Amino acid sequence: MSFEGYEESRALGEPLNLYLFEYGPSQSHRMGLTDGEQTFAFEGVQYRPEPVQRGNINASGTLDRAALEIKCDRECEVAELFRIYPPSQPVRLTVYQGHQDDPARQFLVCWTGRVLNVRWENSEAILMCEPISTSMLRPGLRRRYQIACPHILYGPMCRANKAAATSAATVNTAADGVRQLKVNYTLNATDLRTMRGGTVEWTTPDGLLEARTVLAVQAVGSVATFVLSGIVKAMPQGYPVNLVRGCGHNLDDCGSLHNNLPRYGGMPWIPTKNPVGNYSPYY
């Protein structure tokens, strides 16, 4: 019997929801939850039983009420990703719906999107999710007639050499739950200027890539102190990090720092003086 047969049956139907969370590049960064009573295998993923409940899925055709809330245990692994600071990588969610006793294992995707944030209420963690269709709400063309370069640094339009702008360093003082990170690295005057707006990146023991934007930097001898856009988690002394240069999105930085002038996206020769004005050279 197919999914439709179980769905329309009054006695045979036994609805089952499968929740697939993906938050990293490897198979170990996938977690499956189900609201059933037993572990359920589907497409190579083991969905373990958890007290999880989703809200109603809105299919009105508009995006104003398309968000989805999922309630789970407050100690859920997905909720822990948002405990101190949201993860740098998106947490994708796919919800499958089917029936427990369906021999064909026909589970259909009824919702897909990502987890935006988590809030805790008593013994529950509430995952606030948005559907993939909300990507249509993102702004479109950003480029204007402007002097500064509008391209995203190291993005597909910029294509600056990120590897050449990256330097390896180690943590000088252990940090956990703070926004200041001290690393063993000697910065010259150029580095002090260009690291503002850059990033500090590292790989967690679980294999996840974390990144924080540098808001300010100060160097004393061979120790540099970075003020980051978000707090860091469990950074022991000697932990390896990568320092990635920023860019002022101007012609000088594009040429001298990144050697990327052919891909500069701004219009640096815009005249700064209006040629059509009240000024006359004869008076």
Could you tell me the pTM of the whole model?
A: 0.77
pLDDT at residue 171 tops 90: yes
% of the chain residues with pLDDT over 70:
87
Task: For 79-97, write each residue's pLDDT tens digit.
Answer: 988 888 888 888 999 999 8
Tell me which amino acid residue 197 is: G
| Digit-coded pLDDT (tens) for 66-81 | 688 999 988 888 898 8
Strands, sheet with 68-73, edge to edge from the N-terminal-most edge strand: 40-42, 45-49, 30-34, 15-22, 91-99, 108-121, 124-131, 68-73, 53-54
pLDDT at 1 over 80: no
Q: Whole-angstrom Cα distance, residue 105 to residue 41?
A: 9
